Amino acid sequence: MRRSPAVAGQFYYGIASKLTHQVDQYIDRKAKKEKVIGIVSPHAGLIYSGPVAGAVYSEIDFPETFVMIGPNHTGLGAKISLMESGEWEIPTGVLQIDEKISYRIAMDLSIVTKDSQAHMFEHSLEVQLPFIVCFSKKTKIVPIIMLSASIDECRMLGEGIARAVKGANYPVVIIASSDMSHYVPDDVARQKDGKAIDRILSLDPEGLYEIVLKERISMCGYLPVTTMLFAAKALGAQSARLVKYSTSAEVSGDYDHVVGYAGIVIR
């Protein structure tokens, strides 16, 4: 089946020419690129998070496939939902699902439910696609969204994804889609987000999971990022780098109620 765009015209322009121009504002085609195992990229409206997402995608070697892990904001579907076949459409292109990897994940992990309907209205993965299509229309995707998970389930999923990636004979990068703090003062967001970012840069999935709960950091994608870190470590990750951090205040001018955005590469 083909998944139609759910948030075109809301989170990003719904007309191909306008979307192409919009994405072009946020990318750097001259940026030095590096091979990575995973990335953290935000998923708000492009006017807010586009500069951070664009910076991350500009600095990575594109793989043949992205395994995409995002939070489930809609509440539809199972705890961990995988769309295992079909394609995703946005105004600027259509991306195929990598069935070789998706089938391996589904067969290997009983905690994963094959559920395309859970993805129909979720924006956290869709908002990554304009950047992916901008650099490569041939790259395939594996879409996974997480509604809830224990630390052990994050580990199981991450290590299962790593096994599937190792079984592929081509480059794969894991995307964790997440915004950071939500609707707090700018100084609070920067202070709390700094603690979470430190754990990510230390390649410490357990530490990230714990600090988000302990400090009540309203980071919507902490489960996907935790999972991605477990996968990246299983794939031999050695270091991480913060590419860019910003808050919505830099666009809106409202410093009392901000959302934070972090772009990070894992290599």
Tokens of 161: 């994804």
Cβ atoms within 10 Å, residue 45: 16
β-pairing, 172-177 vs 38-41, is parallel
Residue 105 CA to residue 160 CA, distance in Å, equals 6
Residue 50 CA to residue 193 CA, distance in Å, equals 18
Q: What percent of the chain is modeled with pLDDT above 70? A: 100
Residue-wise pLDDT tens digits, 112-159? 999 999 999 999 999 999 999 999 999 999 999 999 999 999 999 999
DSSP state of 119: G
183: exposed, middle or buried (C-beta count within 10 Å: 0-12, 13-18, 19+)?
exposed
Mean pLDDT value across residues 162-174: 97
> From residue 206, how far is each of 53, 55, 112, 200, 260 by CA, in Å?
25, 27, 21, 10, 21
Q: Tell me if 63 sits within 8 A of 94, measured CB to CB.
A: no
Q: Tell me if 43 sits within 8 A of 49, measured CB to CB.
A: yes
Could you list the residue range(s) of the whole structural domain that residue 262 is in?
Answer: 2-266
Rg of the chain (C-alpha set) = 17
Q: Tell me if 71 sits within 8 A of 124, measured CB to CB.
A: yes
Which residue reads 């224990």 in tokens?
Answer: 150
CATH number at residue 237: 3.40.830.10
Mean pLDDT value across residues 2-29: 98
pLDDT at 34: 98
Q: Tell me if 23 sits within 8 A of 131, measured CB to CB.
A: yes
Cα dihedral sign, 176-180-182-183: negative
Q: What is the pTM of this model?
A: 0.98
What is the tally of structural domains in the chain? 1
Mean pLDDT value across residues 236-257: 98
pLDDT at 155: 98
